[in-house]
Amino acid sequence: MTQKLLQEEIEKSVSPEKYSNADVELFYKANTDRYAEKDEQGKVKRVPSFGEVKERVAQDFIQDKQEQAYQQLIERLMKAENVQIYEQKFQ
């Protein structure tokens, strides 16, 4: 149930309609290495154009935005409830 509420909150804050094609293209330009075709040694053979990988870039962009929204939501909830994590207890 908690997971469902979190998912609904994230979906409300990150809807694909909020972002333009320019936002997605800017994300592509900042992350071209993610989409580059590489050989066995990891060297870049070819970087596909934005048009070739547009769908994949759009999915990655939205996923990235959802992860950011999730982090912000958790931080906001922790701050609101004054949650403290004692990291030294985990070591």
Q: What residues does each domain of the chain span?
A: 2-90
| DSSP letters for 17-66 | GGS-HHHHHHHHHHTHHHH-EE-TTS-EEE---HHHHHHHHHHHHHHHHH
Q: What tokens does 59 get?
A: 């999915």
Predicted pLDDT of residue 5: 77
Instruction: Give phi and psi for 20, each to the nearest 5.
Output: -95, 170
pLDDT of res. 44: 92
- CA nearest 12: which of 57, 61, 66, 58? 66
Task: Return the amino acid letter for 90.
Answer: F
Please tell me the predicted confidence (pLDDT) of residue 40.
93
Dihedrals phi, psi of 28, to nearest 5 degrees? -60, -45
Mean pLDDT split into 10-residue runs, the chain, 91 residues: 78 83 96 95 94 96 93 89 82 70
DSSP 8-state symbol, 91: -
